Amino acid sequence: MSAIVIDGKETAKQIREELAKEVAELKNKGLTPHLTVILIGDDPASHSYVKGKEKGSQEIGISSEVIRYPDTISQDELLAKIAELNENPNVHGILVQLPLPPHIAEEAVIEAIDPAKDVDGFHPVNIGNMVIGNDTLLPCTPYGIIELIKRTGTEISGKHAVVIGRSNIVGKPVSSLLLRENATVTICHSRTRNLQELTRQADILVVAIGKPHVIGKEHVAPGAVVIDVGVNRIESGKLVGDVKFDEVKEIAGYLTPVPGGVGPMTITMLLQNTVKAAKRLAN
């Protein structure tokens, strides 16, 4: 049997349509959600991500601005700008595009953002609230993964979810969100000894390794929901996931493609967080 391919683009489109309606209603009440993105340096991937964020905002009626700095900006200058944005009542979401130049400490920047405006969901206060189950701004990629799984009609509660990867951006938070949804969660990483034995037990397998084509059909139980978070550019220039799509497709129940799976969901959840932050700050 062949897996159902999860269409992240279509799911993202549906959520963006729902958000556009909500934004129109907020605008009628005099509230226009506003996202400020800070982009430092000239990394092409960062520029491309930020363009996607601007385009997505525009599509659903959120106002957005991008503040650009050369990579010579000092940490103090950047922190001063964040402090100013924190105080600005017309700014509801602040996002500093990562990675940062080496002379700027990422944690200091993340921690400088008002948690109420932290639409990335990276601030330790928001991470803490997520872990204890409070309503908060959730990190976008993990939040998008949960939405994708739910919208397949899969019940997460009681399932065995296996996450490969323990990064602060994906592995740890997605594990926490799956636990919040009452899954039994196993986290695997580079030191895990019996990877295949564990992944074969997964009803839901989330792969966030960051290496091309490392997970094959021998890692997957028949009928499992497989979410591939990897985005790897291979020599030919093609983008591929961490999962061997063609062979896992033959055994999984559901599978996300790369591109067009998790990717489109990340910006969508950022837009959702911006709308949520605006509503909370206005109340």
Annotated binding site: 165-167, 231
Among 36, 97, 186, 272, binds ligand GUN (CB under 6 A): 97
Q: Which of 81, 117, 118, 120 is catalytic?
A: 120
Residues 67-96 that bind ligand GUN (CB under 6 A): 95-96
Nearer to ligand GUN, 94 or 248 (CB): 94
Nearer to ligand GUN, 96 or 145 (CB): 96
Number of residues that bind ligand GUN (CB under 6 A): 8
Q: What is the DSSP string of 182-232?
A: T-EEEEE-TT-S-HHHHHTT-SEEEE---STT-B-GGG--TT-EEEE---E
| H or E stretch at 240 | strand 239-240
Contacts of 195 (CB under 8 A, 6+ apart): 164, 188, 219
Reply yes or no on whether 97 is catalytic: yes
Assigned token pair, 144? 């998008």
DSSP β-bridge partners for residue 35: 64, 93
Binding mask 25-64 for ligand GUN (x = CB under 6 A): ------------------------x---------------
Residues 245-274 that bind ligand GUN (CB under 6 A): 266
Reply yes or no on whether 51 is catalytic: no
Reply yes or no on whether 53 is catalytic: yes
Nearer to ligand GUN, 95 or 104 (CB): 95
Q: Which residues are annotated as a binding site for NADP(+)?
A: 165-167, 231
Nearer to ligand GUN, 73 or 251 (CB): 73
Asked if 239 touches ligand GUN (CB under 6 A), the answer is no
Asked if 98 touches ligand GUN (CB under 6 A), the answer is yes
Residues 117-176 that bind ligand GUN (CB under 6 A): 120, 140
Place of tokens 């309503």: 135
Kindly state the smallest distance separating residue 11's Cβ from ligand GUN, in Å.
18
Residue 168 DSSP code: T
67 vs 53: CA distance, rounded Å = 13
Tell me the residue number closest to ligand GUN, measured at CB.
98
Contacts of 112 (CB under 8 A, 6+ apart): 79, 82, 83, 86
203, 224 Cβ separation under 8 angstroms:
yes
From residue 58, how far is each of 13, 19, 54, 186, 192 by CA, in Å? Answer: 14, 12, 6, 39, 43
Kindly state the smallest distance separating residue 66's Cβ from ligand GUN, in Å.
12
Nearer to ligand GUN, 60 or 119 (CB): 119
98, 106 Cβ separation under 8 angstroms:
yes
User: Which residues are at the interface with ligand GUN (CB under 6 A)?
Assistant: 49, 95-98, 120, 140, 266
Catalytic residue numbers read 53, 97, 120
